[in-house]
Amino acid sequence: MSVEYTSSGSVDKDLSSNYGLKIRNTDWNSNQLTGIEFWNGLNKVVATSRIISQMATGGATGDNLLFQTQTNSGTNPNPNQPSTKMVILSGGNVGIGTTEPKNKLNIVGATNSTTGFIVNANVGITGNYSVGNCWMAYSGGINYGTNCSAI
């Protein structure tokens, strides 16, 4: 059983659902949003974070899942609207730092791994990373160097 909240404001018991909470947007609009909004703090003027289900285009291609958080404003309360930091597209591609991932995992920005990256379950990047060292994949292998702008 679950409690169902709809965009029209009704609250119903849903005996057919195995999930404790169901949020239903009863509209049918391209790219419409349904989500959970978090407000941490009494004096907040905007939400602090959100988890959003976005109808992908007209609905035939499934839904995207967006994760939004506030950026640092340096003021309290933080007036910044949450923005999307991670997305899972309906086709399964995951984007961190991008809302349009082109691969199964697309990260925009610096990444850090303490145990390396595994490619094809056997080949990977190992070793230590220090500031100024760069890795770059190219056809046939991986290039490592200390001059990031030259790679």
Distance CA 65, CA 54 (A): 6
Global pTM reads 0.73
Q: How many helices (H) and strands (E) are present in the chain, helices listed first? A: 0, 13
Using only C-alpha atoms, the chain has a radius of gyration, in whole angstroms, of 21
* Percent share of the chain, pLDDT over 70: 72
Q: Parse the chain into domains and list their residue ranges.
A: 31-108, 110-151
**76-134 pLDDT, tens per residue?**
889 999 999 999 999 999 999 999 999 899 988 877 766 666 555 444 454 444 445 55
Distance CA 146, CA 133 (A): 4
38-58: average pLDDT: 89
pLDDT for position 139 = 47
